[in-house]
Structure 1
């Protein structure tokens, strides 16, 4: 018996070659299926990253970086959510915010003034769907952000904006100075301009 090239083959040799071809074909199909699964998993991870469904404390730094990079690329597709605005006007540095308000606000009181600060998110603590605490750091100091849906411009924007904020993001905040009932100095946002990432500060 001859193969396609005219070479004479025994039945056993022909069977061996056909079997090898079949294995090669099956291997190629498996690789293709793996690639498809990887793409689907990547898309699912990106979606989770955007929706805040992933526990960031449980993933590796490399995976966190990949998820955030994917989320940033998604934000870039829409001018309204582009993550790199040209500027954000800061009225107080975090250090000056502490100096100016720490000793003049009573516990549980929020002042009726609006200031703008910016910094990097170091931790996020959820206290229900409509109250989230952030640690905001910059210039070697830290202040607490007490994001409350009731104090925000509106609840729909509150949900949309807070869902985008991740640990490590640089954000700008327009809000009022206040203290919690336990006496911790905080800023209560009316609006979060985020994520700023590479913003230019205007002091």
Structure 2
């Protein structure tokens, strides 16, 4: 057996090193996320709940993130589809198959996807029910804080555009009688000022 030839080894190493690309062996920088990109885990999931509030809440959350990152409509759709889980994922796969069978192109618009999600997960009478709840809201066994919270929530969900006097009258009408009398004795100019 021949002895170890150090010169031969060094020459072979040099030859191999000459054939490597110039940047070989250097650590490659990690890919930096673009301004408009997310880590997919940052986005909330929607599982297809039968409660319309869950769908609308998910839509509001994901929409705020899209706006913050200034994501375009097509990418919004792709991200949203990735965050559909359980029943919503199954629904989407069925929607895709129906569109393919009907010769329609792939869904690639967030606005279109939102409309389809709302059609599936928000009943037609949802807004009517909100207006009814808002019109019939009574304090009952709720604390004042709970009543104010529910009153404001329904007003925002219904997007009621009313003058302050109407809003305050509607608020007072729902209060328990003993509390409404005390409120009527107070000097107030608007619901917002009173609620704070």
TM > 0.5: no
Higher RCO, 1 vs 2 (CA within 8 Å, ≥6 residues apart): 1
Higher Rg: 2
Higher helix fraction (1 or 2): 2
Higher strand fraction (1 or 2): 1
